[in-house]
Amino acid sequence: MSGNGTLPYLSHSRVAKYLHCAEQYRLYYVEGLRPRRPNASLVYGQAIHGALSALFRNGEDPIEVFLHAWEEVEEQDLDYGRDSWAKLKETGRLHLTLFVNRELPKFTNVRASEKDFSLAVSTLGLPFVGVIDLVADLDKKQTVIDFKTAASAYPAYEAAMNDQLTAYQLAEPEAEQSALCVFVKVKEPRIDWLVGERRPAQVLEYLEKVDHVAREISAGRFYKRPGRWCSYCDFLPVCLGDQAKAEETLARVAPRP
């Protein structure tokens, strides 16, 4: 356990990463380590997000936007795992076609897309920030929506317990419900919806958790949390002390402020 716990702001992603593995948080945010070969799934997710944002903000054709972005990705050295550039291109095309044909008609009264928020919470010493993918009426109910891409379906309980949706509910108190719209990358790509509501008690519980995590980070407490997830963690060579492998696979970028 080492490192400095400088924390400029709080966000769901910072809190989630710390709770997943505090050492992973430290290596990512404090040490500024990143994989030399970014994960293709992450880049795919970003391209889908970009396409949906272009659709909701500017009325652009999301399929065109995605395909254009994906063409630019081709030259990059990405870690595709069992996927390939061509396979993900086709998956993206199918996903977005499905979205436009089946899901888009469910939305009315789009209020915001890629909406930044920065909240001051009296119990937290730092601003709590985030970006909400979409605020719109879903089946006529005001909903905070987060788009996800995933290799397998999300379990149903995420609708009720997902912290990210709780955080977004905190930022959009008028929303009647929150939802994950999951683009599942299976053989026949499909889109799942997980819709849930957040009670004030859940929001308060989440705030307590954020406060606790913020204190731990500020105190520079970064414990390793070994588990099965280590097998797919980019930072495993660091934890194993395999310096040669770490240097080969990781690059240090400027640590975040």
Partner 1 sequence: MTERQLTTRQRSAYPEALVMAPTEDGFRVYAAADPKKSYLVSGLPEEPHCSCAKFSQSGDPNWQCPHILAVREHFFGGDGRDPDYDMEERRAIQEETQESREPSRSGQGTSAVLMLLKRSASPDGRIDSLSVEFSCPVAGTSGRVEKKAKQLLALQTAIMKGFLETHSGKTNDRGNGVAEHSGNGEHPVPARLMSIGGMDGRYGRRLFIVVQVNGTTTRLFGNKKQLSEALVSAGYAGFASQVAEGVSLGVPCRVTTKPSDDGRYLNVERVLPPDENGSGR
Asked if 186 touches partner 1 (CB under 8 A), the answer is no
The span of 56-64, 112-120, 143-151, 215-223 binding partner 1 (CB under 8 A) equals 112-120
Asked if 220 touches partner 1 (CB under 8 A), the answer is no
CB of 234 to partner 1, least distance (A): 13
- Of 141, 199, 212, 215, the one binding partner 1 by CB under 8 A: 199
Residue 8 one-letter amino acid: P
How far apart (Å, rounded) are the C-alpha atoms in residues 32 and 79?
Answer: 19
β-strand pairing of 128-138 with 10-11: parallel
- The answer to whether the Cα torsion of 50, 56, 62, 68 is positive or negative is negative
Q: What angle do CA 16, 168, 22 make, to 5 degrees?
A: 10
Conformational region of residue 35, where left means phi above 0, alpha means psi within -120 to 50, and beta covers everything else: beta
Query: What track of x and - describes contact with partner 1 for positions 116 through 145 (by CB under 8 A)?
Result: -xxxxxxx-------x--------------
- Of 2, 58, 59, 75, the one binding partner 1 by CB under 8 A: 75
Those residues whose C-beta lies under 8 Å from the C-beta of residue 254, and which sit 6 or more positions away, are 32
* 238-257 positions binding partner 1, by CB under 8 A: 251-254, 256
SS3 122: coil
Q: Which of 138, 130, 185 is nearest to 163 (CA)?
A: 130
The span of 83-91, 146-154, 177-185, 200-208 binding partner 1 (CB under 8 A) equals 200-208
Comparing CB distances to partner 1, the nearer of 66 and 222 is: 66
Sheet order of strands, 128-138 included: 10-11, 128-138, 141-150, 177-184, 190-196
Q: Which tokens belong to 213?
A: 């995590």
Asked if 200 touches partner 1 (CB under 8 A), the answer is yes
**Number of shown-chain residues binding partner 1 (CB under 8 A):** 39
CB of 36 to partner 1, least distance (A): 8
How far apart (Å, rounded) are the C-alpha atoms in residues 251 and 254?
Answer: 10
Asked if 161 touches partner 1 (CB under 8 A), the answer is no
Q: Are 235 and 41 contacting, i.e. CB atoms less than 8 angstroms apart? A: no
The span of 69-77, 89-97, 140-148, 225-233 binding partner 1 (CB under 8 A) equals 69-77
Binding residues vs partner 1 (CB under 8 A): 8, 34, 38, 42-43, 46-47, 49-50, 69, 72, 75, 114, 117-123, 131, 169-171, 173-174, 199-201, 203-205, 207-208, 251-254, 256
